[in-house]
Structure formats: C-alpha cells, structure tokens
C-alpha cells in the first residue's frame, strides 16, 4: 500500500483510540511501519495529518453516497438513496464516523480543508435546488437543508452508538421518514 495511506490509516486508528494529545508522532510512524522522516516528508506536521484524514474520509463518504446518483431520478428517491447510503456508510465504518464527529467542528480542521471536503457534496445542493423548484421543500437555502439533515443523521447515529442500539432496517427507514418530513413543505 501507498505509504501516505498507511500513515493516514495508522494515525486515524491511534488518534481515535487515544486522542490527539496522547498520540505521539513516533507511534504513528511505528504503526505505519515507516520512519519519522517519511512521515515529515509527506506531512508538514501533526495537524496536517489530521486534515489529511478528514479529507480522505469525506472523499470516501461522498463517493459512497453518490455512487448511484442520477439527476433523472425523482427527488424523493434520490433523497432516500443518498441518506440511506450515508447511514450505511457510517454504520459500517464506526472509526471513521467517530473521527468525523470529533473533528467536524474542531479548529484543527482548516478552512481550506473544510471547503475542499464540502466541494465533494455539491450534489446535495443540486438535489435540494431541484426539490425547491418542484415545490417539495420548505423555503430555505439548500445549504440550510443540507446542514439540518446532516446534523440529524449524525446525532441520531451517535445516540444509537452510545446507547448500543443496533440500527435495523425498520429503524433506518423510520429515520429517513423523519428527515424527509422535517424539510418537506
């Protein structure tokens, strides 16, 4: 595997498990099976690694949830498909979900990183713009709808994971209905 990838994976695991402060660069290098120098060859510093992990996960997430995206599909179908996939992605990658929850609002994540990550999700805007045109949604900027629903997903999943509730298919659909009901006109 690519060394950059190895470093990012090693760092993610350690940082999630022990926290940023308790994860020395030397441990990251060890676990990635490379020397310290190789880490600093690829990353400016520790925070640069965190930003790298953030972008990597967000890119993977976007690829996963939009895999089936087709503007010709109806808005409701698209909505269910996208958010259903998002739930599935987070449920099947708990470490990554944890990482995103923890760092989404952290000052460690630079503006530039945030913008870069967001750019992968432009299809949300397309879908919401289309839905608004068709009079399906309440009158709010697409971005607000994006955040509102995303926030619901995150906290709801966090709740489920903390209470160790296993999210079955029925629950998943019930949630999708809640999300839809919240923004539909």
Partner DNA sequence: AGGTTCAGACTGAATATTCGCTCAGTGTTT
Partner DNA sequence: AAACACTGAGCGAATATTCAGTCTGAACCT
The pairs formed by 58-61 with CB atoms below 8 angstroms and a separation of 24 or more are: 58/100, 58/117, 58/120, 59/117, 59/120, 60/96, 61/86, 61/89, 61/96, 61/100, 61/120
- CA dist., res. 19 & res. 62, Å (int): 25
- Among a copy of itself, DNA, none, the one that 159 touches (CB under a kind-dependent 5 to 8 A) is a copy of itself
Q: Least distance (Å) from a copy of itself to the CB of residue 78?
A: 19
Q: Does 17 bind DNA (CB under 7 A)?
A: no
Torsion over CA: 52, 55, 61, 62 (sign):
negative
Min. distance of Cβ 138 from DNA in angstroms?
45
Binder of DNA out of 12, 15, 23, 124 (CB under 7 A): 23
Binder among 19, 24, 33, 35 for a copy of itself (CB under 8 A): 19
Residue numbers of the site for DNA (CB under 7 A)? 3, 21-26, 29, 33-38, 40-41, 45-46
């Amino acid at each position: 595997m690519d060394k950059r990838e190895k470093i990012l994976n090693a760092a993610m695991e350690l940082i999630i498990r022990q926290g940023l402060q308790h994860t020395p660069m030397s441990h990251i290098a060890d676990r990635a099976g490379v020397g310290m120098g190789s880490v600093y060859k690829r990353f400016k510093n520790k925070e640069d690694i965190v930003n790298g992990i953030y972008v990597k996960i967000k890119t993977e997430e976007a690829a996963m949830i939009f895999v089936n995206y087709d503007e010709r599909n109806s808005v409701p179908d698209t909505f269910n498909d996208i958010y259903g996939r998002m739930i599935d992605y987070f449920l099947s990658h708990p470490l990554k979900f944890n990482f995103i929850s923890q760092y989404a609002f952290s000052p460690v994540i630079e503006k530039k990183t945030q913008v870069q990550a967001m750019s992968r999700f432009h299809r949300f805007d397309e879908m919401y713009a289309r839905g608004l045109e068709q009079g399906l949604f309440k009158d709010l900027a697409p971005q607000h709808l994006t955040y509102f629903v995303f926030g619901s997903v995150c906290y709801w999943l966090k709740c489920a994971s903390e209470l160790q509730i296993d999210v079955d298919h029925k629950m998943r659909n019930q949630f999708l209905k809640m999300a839809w009901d919240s923004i539909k006109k």
